């Protein structure tokens, strides 16, 4: 499914993160944004990692490499971020979109 189709289906792509007007096209942008919103909160990334169920270093891998999260992680992140139903659906669709568009390299 293309990003345009996701946006049409969800019909509200300019949500996420306290009703801001930023349009996110990658779920990693949303994660970075939410972390930046809580920059003053000590241990926020550790709390996020614990809530999702992975090691904090894995969060760094996700944000800084081609490592992807699965749909279970996405649902737990959406809950941790307190996203509403539409925002959660959009976030999960972006995760699904990223997973389907991974290009594998034969070695």
Residue 25 pLDDT: 87
The residue ranges of the chain whose pLDDT is under 50 are 11-21, 104-107
Residue 15 pLDDT: 45
Residue 72 pLDDT: 95
Contact in structure between 74 and 95 (CB atoms under 8 Å): yes
Is the pTM here over 0.85, yes or no? no
Residue 62 pLDDT: 93
Task: Show Cβ contacts of residue 28 under 8 Å, excluding neighbours closer than 6 positions.
Answer: 62, 63, 98
Residue 5 pLDDT: 59
Residue 104 pLDDT: 46
């Amino acid at each position: 499914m293309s990003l345009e189709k996701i946006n049409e289906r969800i019909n509200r792509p300019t949500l996420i993160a306290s009703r801001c007007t930023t349009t996110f096209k990658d779920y990693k942008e949303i994660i970075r944004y939410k972390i930046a919103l809580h920059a003053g909160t000590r241990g926020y990334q550790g709390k996020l990692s614990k809530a999702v169920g992975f090691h904090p270093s894995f969060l760094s891998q996700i944000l800084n490499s081609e490592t992807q999260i699965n749909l279970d992680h996405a649902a737990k992140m959406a809950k941790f971020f307190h996203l509403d139903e539409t925002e959660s659906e959009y976030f999960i669709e972006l995760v699904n979109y990223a997973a389907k568009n991974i290009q594998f390299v034969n070695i």
